[in-house]
């Protein structure tokens, strides 16, 4: 069952050669044959006809039936681009938008970016020739800001609508409003079976078109006892499957929650397999093993999904794919026969009562569990190993995942809707309305950072903020920094905050990498630390070697550089100055405070903080530069709250309490000021009983209150 490669360079060459062969197999005829085998192909003409006859069509089909890759092509072939209109297809995930565009370009035998292109935040791979455009749902929303009737589009496919991502949900509402003004526009909503009826009702009984699927039975095996460590258990399960079945009998897909556990699972499997093979075959290195290859998929850097993951490997070599819930419905990898499901996913969770947004590892829903298992039965009967008990499934898991709109901070969305001219958010046609409490908090937050006036209308600052594809706090710091002569540095910081993981911390070299990181520390601020990393990298002339030497991810910095250029373009277009503060970094901290005043905390011991608005105990993240200060700064603002075993604040900057009053005047009260020394100011949140909000004459808030 277990095999070993020859060794050394020779092997590499063979692998490359056989890759070329696989590429040759991807000939035109083969691609055509594969397309014609997809379930969607059999119903193509009926499907196109239904779309022709209706303004809105709901298309339902199992994952892998060809909704994403085929539908747009069918419409293109059927002439839906007449009059130089575009076919737009939205995806909730960047990774999917990119990889699907690549695939469709290949199927249509055109260069990516020509007839088929994609657009994701900060990256546009389209041209005037583009007719089929894949994009994230967020991109289409932003396009609506520039052209509210979306005139460039003849058809819009809202793909993966069942995922109920926040932006898709908002897009559904916008399109519903747009339909009467754009009689010629075709809207297609695709969905797995769940939620389909709901979408149909939402669009006044739009027809539901089902693509008949074929799937194979999947045996579900539950864990008998609750699992203590799902990474460890999934590693054991994967190794067990690999060792007890023929390596060419089917691939393994493992669902994990996020980049970190995806990586550690993949590393641990490599280690374990190397150990086993070293005993049986005397190999010393995982790369020598020739009957299995491990892939990881997560959304951090979307460019990274390798084409190879979709191909049959040479000699039937087994694939083990470790993925986040991206592989649940957005990406279909053929040939999977074993699924290992850890039972969790990382979800954005928002608690409007305390106004906190966080990423939390939460149990998946039963619908997720079924989707995950289903991945094992696409090409042949399969097995799904659930690393949780059957009782857990029934008792601890919701039947369906709660739509994002009901569990996330809506400040961004509210700002966007306001910029689109939606005056009363409460009256917007939502598929499922967000909780009123959340809307109130978002309106108030936007008001407190100056994006809305006390009538609930967009201010000039708010209008400028909406020009940036950034969360409101980041747009604000950028705009304020331009006024204070430090936008050159701030745009770097904002760009660095828009990329995943800057620092690299390999397990076996943790100490070394921690030391390397600490050399960049600007003790008062993690934000400024990022700025420092970037400027040193710039001094190295953006060198790759510099990055490896300092344990910094080159790809992340490269991405930050691209984002920075994009942001500067937007700034210039809107006549916002790009100026450097030179060596004065205090002004930067003050500007940072201007966007984060609602995310402030007061120290209560070493590494310990207390959230100013809510009183919640929070912990400074162990990687923070602020530990270098020895003594904790009395007041800080933070970029992100991370909930794991404890509540951590990540990316933190020390601030002067008077700045908090200056920028968070609606939130905070100065209790007492001891002497003239600024550090003695004592800042506290206003007593909620006092109800400062009564001062705010937000029409919407009043109306919302009345409804509660």
Q: Which does 38 bind (CB under 5 to 8 A by kind): ligand ADP, Mg ion, none?
A: ligand ADP
Tell me how far, at minimum, the Cβ of 594 lies from ligand ADP, in Å: 43
Inter-residue contact 257 to 324 (CB < 8 Å): yes
Residue 447 token pair: 């008001």
C-beta closer to Mg ion: residue 67 or 176: 67
- Contact positions vs ligand ADP (CB under 6 A): 38, 61, 63-70, 99-100, 102-103, 310, 332, 334
Of 67 and 527, CB closest to Mg ion: 67
Minimum CB–partner distance for residue 193 and ligand ADP (Å): 12
- Angle of helix 487-497 relative to helix 526-539, nearest 10 degrees? 100
Shortest reach from residue 93's CB to ligand ADP, in Å: 12
Q: Are 307 and 280 in contact (CB under 8 A)?
A: no
The C-alpha atoms of residue 451 and residue 462 are separated, in whole angstroms, by: 4
CB of 551 to Mg ion, least distance (A): 37
- Given ligand ADP, Mg ion, none, residue 103, with its beta carbon under 5 to 8 Å by kind, binds ligand ADP
Taking the complex as a whole, the smallest distance from the CB of residue 71 to ligand ADP amounts, in Å, to 8
Is residue 566 part of the contact set for Mg ion (CB under 5 A)?
no
Write phi, then psi, for 476 (nearest 5 degrees): -65, -45
- Residue 366's binding partner out of Mg ion, ligand ADP, none, with CB under 5 to 8 Å set by partner kind: none
- For Mg ion, the binding residues in 38-77 under the rule CB under 5 A are 67-68
Using rule CB under 5 A, residue 473 touches Mg ion:
no
C-alpha–C-alpha distance, residues 456 and 447, integer Å: 8
d(C-alpha 678, C-alpha 669), whole Å: 15
- Cβ proximity to ligand ADP: between 331 and 528 the closer is 331
Shortest reach from residue 74's CB to ligand ADP, in Å: 11
Q: In the bound complex, what is the minimum distance in angstroms from residue 92's beta carbon to ligand ADP?
A: 12
438 sits near Mg ion (criterion: CB under 5 A): no
Q: For every residue of 393-406, which 3-state class applies, written as one string?
A: HHHHCCCCCCCHHH
310 interacts with, out of ligand ADP, Mg ion, none, CB within 5 to 8 A per kind: ligand ADP
Phi–psi pair at 566, nearest 5 degrees: -60, -45
CB closer to Mg ion out of 68 and 257: 68
3-state class of 289 per DSSP? coil
Cβ contacts of 502 within 8 Å, gap of 6 or more? 496, 530, 533, 552, 553, 556, 557, 560
Q: Does 191 participate in binding Mg ion (rule CB under 5 A)? A: no
332 interacts with, out of ligand ADP, Mg ion, none, CB within 5 to 8 A per kind: ligand ADP
Least distance to ligand ADP from the beta carbon of 102, Å? 6
Least distance (Å) from ligand ADP to the CB of residue 249? Answer: 19
165 lies in the site for Mg ion, by CB under 5 A: no
CA distances to 444, 686, 692 from 352, rounded to whole Å, are: 11, 17, 17
The DSSP code sequence of 145-188 is HH-TT-TTEEEEEETTGGG--HHHHHHHHHHHHHTTT-TT-EEE
Q: Please identify, using beta-carbon distances, which residue of 40 and 347 lies nearer to ligand ADP.
A: 40
In the list ligand ADP, Mg ion, none, the entry touching 400 (Cβ below 5 to 8 angstroms by class) is none
Partner interacting with residue 611 (select from ligand ADP, Mg ion, none; CB below 5-8 Å by kind): none
Q: How far is the CB of 245 from ligand ADP (least distance, A)?
A: 22
Asked whether 72 and 40 are in contact (CB, 8 A), the reply is no
**Considering beta carbons, is residue 239 or 384 the nearer one to ligand ADP?**
384
3-state SS of 94-134 is: HHHHHHHHHHHHHHCCCCECCCEEEEECCEEECCCCCCEEE
Give the number of other Cβ atoms within 10 Å of residue 605's Cβ. 10
Angle at 672 between CA 666 and CA 675, to 5 degrees: 125
Total Cβ atoms within 10 A of residue 477: 28
Find the shortest distance in angstroms from Cβ 100 to Mg ion.
7
- Does 99 contact Mg ion by CB under 5 A? no
Within 8 A by CB and 6+ apart from 449, the residues are: 472, 473, 476, 594, 595, 597, 598, 663
Q: Residue 498's binding partner, choosing from Mg ion, ligand ADP, none, with beta-carbon cut-off 5 to 8 A by kind? A: none
By beta-carbon proximity to ligand ADP, the closer residue of 67 and 590 is 67
Instruction: State the binding partner of 195 from ligand ADP, Mg ion, none, CB within 5 to 8 A by kind.
Output: none
What is the Cα–Cα distance from 455 to 186, expressed in whole angstroms?
37
Provide the angle, in degrees to the nearest 10, between the axes of the packed helices 586-596 and 526-539. Answer: 130
Q: Residue 133 Cβ, how far from Mg ion at the closest point, in Å?
A: 16
Compare residues 94 and 561 and give the one whose CB is closer to ligand ADP. Answer: 94
The answer to whether the CB of 182 falls within 8 A of the CB of 113 is no
The answer to the question of residue 656 lying near Mg ion (CB under 5 A) is no
Give the residue with the Cβ less far from Mg ion, 104 or 294. Answer: 104
Helical axes 699-707 vs 436-448, angle rounded to 10°: 160
Q: Is there binding between residue 373 and Mg ion (CB under 5 A)?
A: no
Looking at the Cβ atoms of 89 and 496, the one nearer to ligand ADP is: 89
Please tell me the count of residues contacting Mg ion according to CB under 5 A. Answer: 2
Q: Which is nearer to ligand ADP, 85 or 312 (CB)?
A: 312
Task: Please choose which of ligand ADP, Mg ion, none residue 59 contacts, taking the beta carbon within 5 to 8 angstroms, the exact cut-off set by kind.
Answer: none
Q: Toward ligand ADP, which CB reaches closer, 102 or 590?
A: 102
- Residues at the interface with Mg ion (CB under 5 A): 67-68
């Amino acid at each position: 069952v277990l095999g070993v490669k020859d060794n050394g360079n020779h092997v590499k060459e063979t692998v490359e050669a056989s890759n070329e062969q696989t590429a040759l197999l991807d000939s035109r005829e083969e691609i055509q044959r594969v397309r014609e085998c997809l379930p969607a192909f059999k119903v193509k003409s009926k499907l196109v006809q239904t779309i022709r006859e209706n303004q809105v069509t709901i298309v339902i089909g199992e994952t892998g039936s060809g909704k994403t890759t085929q539908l747009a092509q069918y419409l293109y072939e059927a002439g839906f681009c007449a009059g130089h209109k575009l076919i737009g297809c939205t995806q909730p995930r960047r990774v999917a938008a990119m990889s699907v565009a690549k695939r469709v370009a290949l199927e249509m035998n055109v260069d990516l970016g020509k007839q088929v292109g994609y657009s994701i935040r900060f990256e546009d791979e389209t041209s005037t020739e583009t007719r089929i455009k894949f994009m994230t749902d967020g991109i289409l929303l932003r396009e609506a800001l520039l052209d509210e009737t979306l005139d460039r589009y003849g058809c819009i496919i809202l793909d993966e609508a069942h995922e109920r991502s926040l932006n898709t949900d908002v897009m559904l509402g916008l399109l519903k409003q747009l339909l009467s003004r754009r009689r010629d526009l075709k809207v297609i909503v695709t969905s797995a079976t769940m939620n389909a009826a709901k979408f149909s009702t939402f669009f006044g009984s739009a027809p539901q078109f089902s693509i008949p699927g074929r799937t194979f039975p999947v045996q579900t095996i539950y864990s008998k006892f609750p699992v203590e460590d799902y990474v460890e258990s999934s590693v054991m399960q994967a190794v067990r499957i690999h060792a007890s079945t023929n390596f060419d009998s089917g691939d393994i897909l493992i669902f994990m929650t996020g980049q970190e556990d995806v990586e550690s699972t993949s590393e641990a499997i490599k280690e374990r397999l190397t150990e086993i093979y070293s005993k049986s075959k005397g190999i010393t290195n995982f790369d020598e093993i020739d009957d299995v290859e491990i892939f990881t998929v997560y959304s951090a850097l979307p460019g990274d999904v390798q084409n190879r993951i979709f191909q049959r490997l040479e000699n039937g070599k087994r694939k083990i794919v470790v993925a986040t819930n991206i592989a649940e419905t957005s990406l279909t990898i053929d040939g999977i026969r074993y699924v290992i499901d850890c039972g969790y996913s990382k979800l954005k969770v928002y608690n409007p009562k305390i106004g906190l947004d966080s990423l939390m590892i939460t149990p998946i829903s039963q619908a997720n569990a079924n989707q995950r298992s289903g991945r094992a039965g696409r090409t042949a009967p399969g097995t799904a190993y659930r690393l949780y008990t059957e009782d857990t499934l029934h008792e601890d898991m919701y039947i369906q995942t709660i739509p994002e709109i009901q569990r996330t901070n809506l400040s961004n969305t509210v700002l966007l809707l306001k910029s689109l001219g939606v005056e009363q958010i409460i009256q917007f046609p939502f598929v499922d309305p967000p909780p009123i409490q959340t809307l109130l908090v978002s309106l108030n937050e936007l008001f407190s950072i100056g994006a809305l006036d006390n009538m609930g209308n967009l201010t000039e600052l708010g209008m400028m903020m909406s020009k940036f594809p950034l969360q409101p706090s980041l747009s604000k710091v950028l705009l304020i920094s331009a006024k204070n002569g430090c936008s050159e540095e701030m745009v770097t910081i904002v760009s660095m905050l828009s990329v995943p993981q800057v620092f690299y911390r390999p397990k076996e070299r943790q100490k070394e990498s921690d030391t390397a990181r600490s050399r960049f520390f600007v003790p008062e601020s993690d934000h400024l630390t990022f700025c420092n990393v970037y400027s040193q990298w710039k001094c190295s002339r953006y060198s790759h070697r510099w990055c490896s030497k300092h344990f910094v991810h080159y790809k992340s910095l490269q991405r930050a550089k691209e984002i920075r250029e994009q942001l500067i373009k937007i700034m210039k277009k809107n006549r916002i100055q790009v100026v450097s503060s030179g060596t004065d970094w205090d002004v930067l901290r003050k500007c940072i405070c201007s966007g984060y005043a609602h995310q402030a905390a007061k120290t209560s011991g070493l590494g310990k903080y207390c959230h100013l608005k809510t009183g919640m105990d929070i912990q400074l993240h162990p990687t923070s530069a602020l530990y270098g200060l020895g003594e904790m700064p009395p007041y800080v603002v933070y970029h992100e709250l991370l909930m794991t075993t404890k509540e951590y604040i990540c990316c933190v900057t020390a601030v002067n309490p008077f700045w908090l009053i200056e920028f968070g005047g609606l939130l905070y009260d100065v209790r007492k000021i001891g002497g003239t020394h600024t550090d003695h100011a004592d800042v506290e949140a206003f007593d909620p009983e006092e109800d400062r909000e009564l001062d705010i004459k937000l029409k919407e808030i009043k109306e919302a209150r009345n409804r509660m």
